[in-house]
Amino acid sequence: MKAIRFLLALFPALLVPLVAEDRKPNIIVIMADDLGFGDLSCYGATTYETPHIDALAKEGMQFMSGYCTASTCTPTRFSLLTGTYAFRVKGTGIAPPSAPAVIAGGTPTIASMLKSAGYRTAVIGKWHLGFGGPDGPDWNGELKPGPLEIGFDYSFLLPTTNDRVPQVYVENHRVLNLDPADPLRVGNKKPDEDHPTGISHRDTLKMDWTHGHNNTIHNGISRIGFYTGGETARFRDEDLADKWVEKSVAWIEKNKETPFFLFFASHDNHVPRIPHERFQGVTPHGFRSDSVVQLDWCVGELTKTVERLGLSQNTLFVFCSDNGPVMDDGYADDALEKLGEHRAAGPFRGGKYSVYEGGTRTPFLTRWKGTITPGLSDEVVSTMDLYASLASLTGAELPKDAALDTTDVLGALLGEKNAKGRSELVQQDNGSGGTFGFRSGNWKLLRHDSKKARNVVVEKKLENVDVPQFQLYDLSVDPSESEDLFATQPEVASRLQARLDEIIESGRTRP
C-alpha cells in the first residue's frame, strides 16, 4: 500500500485505474425531490439547518454549477439512469399513475453497467418511471418490466409520485402486503358516482388542494387519479422517509461484503409534503422546509450506517436533486405563505418546470473520505454524467449504442486538480417540445418556441410569463439571468442557436 500511495503522489493521473483495480468503492447516489439550490444551509439557507448534508459538503466536493438535465422528475430520472437526454425519447414526460415502463426492459442503464462490474444494485424510494408493457402495470400481478429488468437486483419503491395514486409500496415485482381478496384498481376515471374525492368530500381533507390533486382521497389527502381496494397495502404518508431508511440500512448491511450501488430516491420535498410528526414545525416555513430537514435526517442515517460498518473510506456519496424548487404545487401547505425571506432557488431565476437556472441548477455534492479533498468547485457537472463517470471509476465499458449523452467528468467529481467538467449542457422542461436551456461555457441560451416561460418569480409568486423566443445571458456576470443580451451579442447567439440545433438533431453527443 505504501508503494501505491507513493505512485499516486507522483502520478495523480493514475488515480482512477489504480482505484478501479485495487478496490471498487461502494456508491450511494441520493436524489432529493424538488430541492432548490438555496434550500440547504451549506448553500445559503439561514432560517434552519441541514447538518448532515452540510457534513457531506464539508467533507467532500461542493459544486456551484451542478445540474440535473430537466426541470421535472421523470425526465431527469430517465437521463440519470440511461445517460441520454430525455427529449430524445418519446414518453419521458411526467409519468401518469398507470404509466408503462418508461425505460424498456433490457435497456442499458447505470445499474446494469455497475452490475456488470461486479456490483450489487438497489433502488429504494420514489420510482415514477412506470411498470409493465404498453398496457401499463398489472397492479395485482407481476409489475414487470421494471427496475429489475434494467439492472437492479433489488427495489423497494413508491411506484409513481405521492400526489398520484396508488399509495402502496412495490417490492421487486409485487405490491407489498396486497390481499388478493381486496384487489387494487387504479384508473383515470371515477369508479362510481359515490366514490369520495377531493371535490365531493373537500371538508374531510386534512390538507386542502389548490389546483388539480382532487381525485381519490387517502390519508386525508386527495390525489391525481382514482383507486380502490388494496387497503392492507396502503401506507401512511408520514412514514415514507422512515421506511426508505429502514430498507436502505437493511440492504447495506446485507451487502456490505461486496461492492454495492444504492440509488436512494427520496420523495422529500415533493407534494404532498407530509413529514413525520417529529419533523412537523421544526422550521418557520411550514411542511415544505420541514421536509427538507427530514431529508437531512435520512442522509444522516445513511452516513452513520456506512460509518458504523467501517465503509466510509471506501464509499462514494453523490447528493443531488431531480429539479429545482416549487412552492404551491397543488396543495395548501403554507409553502408560499410562510416563505418569508427564504429563497429556495438561491440567487437564480425560475424553478421547477422552468429552463431558467433555478429549474435545473441544484445542490450537487460528492464525498469519498480519504480520496476527495474537500473544497468548492465551479466545474459544470450533471446527474446524467454519473453513467460515464462511474464507468470510468469502475473500469466498466460504455455501450456503443446507448448512454448517448453522458460525459466522463470523474476527475471533477473527485476534485482532481485541473480536472474539467462539462463544456456544454442542454436543459429541458417536461419535454413538451421547443423549450430548452443551453449552457455553453458561461453563456446561456434560452429557447421558448411557445414564447411562454413557466415558473418565473413575479412578486414572490411563480407565474407563467410572456418571453421572447430566444434569450441570451452571460452567467459569469449575470447568474440571475436578468439582462438579456440576445440583441447585443448576435454572433454568440447565432453560434449557440446553431449548436443547440445540432445537438437536438444529431441524436447523440457522446462520440
Q: CATH number of the domain at 83, please.
A: 3.40.720.10
Contact 55, 304 (CB under 8 A): no
Asked if residue 313 belongs to a domain, the reply is yes
Asked if residue 99 belongs to a domain, the reply is yes
CB atoms within 10 A of CB 397: 9
Asked if residue 112 belongs to a domain, the reply is yes
Q: What is the pLDDT of residue 164?
A: 97
Asked if residue 388 belongs to a domain, the reply is yes
Q: Position of cell 421572447? A: 468
Q: What is the pLDDT of residue 461?
A: 62
Phi/psi at 377 (nearest 5 deg)? -135, 140
Which 8-state DSSP code applies to residue 43?
Answer: G
| Residues in CB range of 208: below 8 A, 6 or more apart | 202, 331, 332
Asked if residue 296 belongs to a domain, the reply is yes
Q: What is the pLDDT of residue 462?
A: 65
Q: What is the pLDDT of residue 23?
A: 65
The span from the CA of 414 to the CA of 306, in Å, is 19
Coil, strand, or helix at residue 366?
A: strand
Q: What is the pLDDT of residues 313-333, one digit of tens each?
A: 999 999 999 999 999 999 999
Q: Which residue has the higher pLDDT, 463 or 480?
A: 480
Q: What is the pLDDT of residue 464?
A: 82
The answer on pLDDT for 278 being more than 70 is yes
* Cis upstream peptide for 137 (omega within 30°): no
Phi/psi at 221 (nearest 5 deg)? -135, 130
Closest among 482, 448, 328, 401 to 83, alpha carbons compared: 401
pLDDT more than 70, % of the chain: 94
Confidence of residue 22 (pLDDT cuts 50, 70, 90): low
The answer on pLDDT for 7 being more than 80 is no
Q: What is the pLDDT of residue 15?
A: 40
Q: How many structural domains compose the chain?
A: 1
Asked if residue 90 belongs to a domain, the reply is yes
- CA atoms within 13 Å, Cβ hemisphere of 285: 24
Joined grid coordinates for residue 89: 425519447
Q: How far is CA 57 from CA 248, 307, 322, 365, 379, in A?
A: 22, 16, 18, 6, 15
Domain housing 97? 24-60+71-177+234-343+364-422
* Cis upstream peptide for 468 (omega within 30°): no
- Report, in angstroms and rounded to the nearest whole number, the Rg of the chain calculated over CA atoms: 22
Length of the chain: 511
What is the residue-averaged pLDDT of the chain? Answer: 94
Asked if residue 97 belongs to a domain, the reply is yes
Closest among 480, 461, 449, 465 to 348, alpha carbons compared: 480
Confidence of residue 208 (pLDDT cuts 50, 70, 90): very high
The answer on pLDDT for 272 being more than 70 is yes
Contact 455, 359 (CB under 8 A): yes
The answer on pLDDT for 456 being more than 90 is no
Q: What is the pLDDT of residue 431?
A: 82
Q: What is the pLDDT of residue 463?
A: 75
Q: What is the pLDDT of residues 372-418, one digit of tens each?
A: 999 999 999 999 999 999 999 999 999 999 999 999 999 999 999 99
Q: What is the pLDDT of residues 159-173, one digit of tens each?
A: 999 999 999 999 999
Contact 424, 69 (CB under 8 A): no
Phi/psi at 400 (nearest 5 deg)? -70, -35
Q: What is the pLDDT of residues 349-366, one digit of tens each?
A: 999 999 999 999 999 999
Asked if residue 508 belongs to a domain, the reply is no
